[in-house]
Amino acid sequence: MTELLTIEEASDALRSGQVTSIDLTESSLSRIEAVDERVGAFIAVNDSARIQAQRADVELTAKMDRGPLHGIPFGLKDILATSDQPTTANSLVLDTAWGNGYDSVVTERVRNAGAIIMGKLVMSEFAIGTPDSEKPFPIPRNPWDLERSPAGSSSGTGIAISTGMVLGGIGTDTGGSVRSPASWNGHTGLKVTFGRVPKWGCVPLGYSLDSIGPMARSAWDCGAILNVIAGYDSRDITASREPTVDYLDGIKDGISGLRIGIPVPYFFDHPEVAIDQRVAVEKVIQQLEALGANARQVELPHSDIAKEANTITMLSEAFAYHHPDMGSARWSEYGRNTRMTIGSASLFAASDYVQAQRFRSWYTREAAKLMNEVDVLVTPTHPTTAALSAEMGDPLRRPKQPSFTGPFNLLGYPALALPAGFSSSGLPFSAQIIGAPFSEALLLRAGYAYQQTTDWHLRVPPIVTAGENNADN
């Protein structure tokens, strides 16, 4: 099976002279050529990638080291403004001039860290709609099974990382859009505390829920990315002034004494949780216990209602942003699922939104009480492995399903999704580690400890080997 480098490995190899940034970039471009047509990860590949790599090699040779991302092939979800490429949010509706000539805060920071921006990655339309074959955008497919969904909304980032087209990337998460693609594509993804990463230059979905987070193969890699993108910026009124830390400092210190809460009600006992998914997460908890953690069952009450409150909040805030276009002749320019999903918020009353916020306040207090008793919670990231793409287009599907990610968007808590094995049919399982606000360093340390004892995060979809063999013929 083809081996793909982590950012940690590639960064070390660059500094030891084993590889150059040009080597890594050419490898990424080769994988894009061999695989992307089948999986639909890229909206656009950056013509300047080789020039960026040459500059990185010159700087590294001159000992102008910008940190672990320097010279690393990297991808951006096409929801972030980039000065050298258009931003579409995977939609015909977004103004073609949106984002022209400037970088988002996150894009700025990634560039300044010396990452090689390989291009803009496919996403769910406006971070909420499922793919629509009638629109002129690539259809993203799960690299472990092309008939299945890669999840959203950061679909392209998840696909590109799992196939090695990039070594790291950026996603956004309003109801699970970093963690769900990480879960179904078999890599690591971190949803950060609300406000931890500035959102200026990012197309909004839910004003009070949106977060921008790192996606990569490993917890270490996510920590390296977070070191670059975290921290206050005055251009984002929701950005937190909470001081950042070095998210790699102490990541190897182990988890002896870590207090794990297992919220069984809803997260483990919901009837739609697949038995093999639950067992896989239970094995993660057992492995964390073997590493020194202490686990016990707890309850985060009414998390089923938290899912509904998150949905009401997200759709209401999305509808507020899109109302001018949805109320005009542009309705049909939205993808079918997008317009039906966002448009459904027109059926909510103001009282629904208010009641969701009242519940949110109560739920936040209950969660804070629980997090005084434990350090982290562990749950499945998703109730099942990747669903068939044909099942994903129904706009009524979302309201009927449980969500193990949305409640933590409602709280604004950080949460790390990490690979937890594979089903009998070869689809990735995923576990989610959740912490109190601004506990990203702790989550990454727990994830790192687990990943030193497993190699699930290093597994490669068979399509990568097949694509490279085809490229050689």
Tell me, what CATH number does 443's domain have? 3.90.1300.10
pLDDT in tens, 178-234: 999 999 999 999 999 999 999 999 999 999 999 999 999 999 999 999 999 999 999
Q: Which residues pair with 378 in a beta bridge?
A: 433
Residue 308: CB atoms within 10 Å = 18
* pLDDT of 394: 76
The verdict on whether 177 is a catalytic residue reads yes
For residue 153, whether the previous peptide bond is cis, meaning omega lies within 30 degrees of 0, is: yes
The verdict on whether 153 is a catalytic residue reads yes
Q: Which of 154, 177, 389, 430 is catalytic?
A: 177
pLDDT band at 329 (very low <50, low <70, confident <90, very high): confident
Is residue 398 scored above 80 in pLDDT? no
Closest by CA to 188, choosing from 168, 209, 174, 208, is 168
pLDDT in tens, 127-181: 999 999 999 999 999 999 999 999 999 999 999 999 999 999 999 999 999 999 9
Residue ranges making up the domain that contains 132: 7-472
Q: Which residues pair with 82 in a beta bridge?
A: 85
* pLDDT of 473: 45
Residue 173 lies in a domain: yes
Q: Which of 27, 28, 77, 240 is catalytic?
A: 77
Q: Across residues 92-115, what is the average pLDDT?
A: 97
Q: Across residues 277-290, what is the average pLDDT?
A: 98
d(CA 308, CA 312): 6
Residue 2 lies in a domain: no
d(CA 317, CA 339): 14
Counting the structural domains of the chain, the total is 1
Which amino acid, residue 221?
D
* pLDDT of 15: 97
Residue 98 lies in a domain: yes
Residue 1 lies in a domain: no
d(CA 108, CA 1): 36
pLDDT band at 300 (very low <50, low <70, confident <90, very high): very high
Torsion of CA 436, 249, 283, 389, to 10 degrees: 70
pLDDT in tens, 17-54: 999 999 999 999 999 999 999 999 999 999 999 999 99
Does residue 158 sit in helix, strand or coil?
helix
Q: String of b and e for 30-39 (b: at least 16 CB within 10 Å)? A: bbbebbbeeb
The verdict on whether 91 is a catalytic residue reads no
C-alpha to C-alpha distances, 451 to 187, 224, 287, 432, 457, nearest whole angstrom: 11, 16, 10, 13, 7
